[in-house]
């Protein structure tokens, strides 16, 4: 009688919900690295800068002296600012995951 080897697969399939739950921090870090690496190359830099820098601006003429106006550029909240917000949240998530092990490794405070 042949003995069947039991295959113990501890890793869930890649396209499963369990895989995403177990590896969400690594997935977020890889997405953030794509943006940072995109800034390093001249070809992809304009596309990556949409996610890093604010781009929705409003130019307002300001009168400096009588008869002399200067255009001043203000960055306002717009559709492109949402992409920047998403990337900032990604970077904050990564930095929090780096700091969290430092906080949890300390012993809990004594209660009186």
Looking at the domain assignment, is residue 111 inside a domain? no
User: How much is the pLDDT for 1?
Assistant: 57
- Please check whether residue 11 lies inside any domain of the structure: no
Tally of helices (H runs) and strands (E runs) in the chain: 4, 2
The mean per-residue pLDDT over the stretch 35-56 comes to: 83
Q: How many C-beta atoms surround the C-beta of residue 48 within 10 A? A: 18
The predicted-structure confidence for 48-93, as pLDDT tens digits, reads as follows 887 787 777 788 888 888 889 999 888 777 777 788 888 888 888 8
pLDDT per position as a tens digit, 11-30: 778 778 888 888 877 888 88
Burial letters 22-36, b for 16+ CB under 10 A, else e: eeeeeebbeebeebe
| Residue 96 in domain | yes
Residue 6 falls inside a structural domain: no
What is the domain count for the chain?
1
What six digits make up the tokens of 108?
């809990």
pLDDT of 13 = 81
Domain membership flag for residue 50: yes
Q: Which domain holds residue 97?
A: 17-101
On whether residue 65 sits in a domain, the answer given is yes
């Amino acid at each position: 009688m042949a003995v069947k080897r039991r295959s113990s697969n501890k890793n869930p399939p890649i396209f499963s919900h369990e895989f995403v739950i177990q590896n969400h921090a690594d997935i977020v870090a890889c997405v953030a690295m794509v943006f940072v690496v995109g800034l390093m190359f001249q070809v992809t830099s304009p596309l990556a800068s949409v996610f890093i820098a604010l781009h929705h601006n409003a130019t307002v003429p300001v009168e400096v002296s009588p008869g002399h106006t200067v255009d001043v550029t203000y960055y306002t909240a717009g559709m492109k600012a949402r992409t920047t917000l998403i990337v900032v949240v990604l970077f904050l998530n990564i930095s929090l995951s780096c700091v969290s092990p430092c906080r949890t490794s300390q012993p809990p405070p004594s209660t009186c």
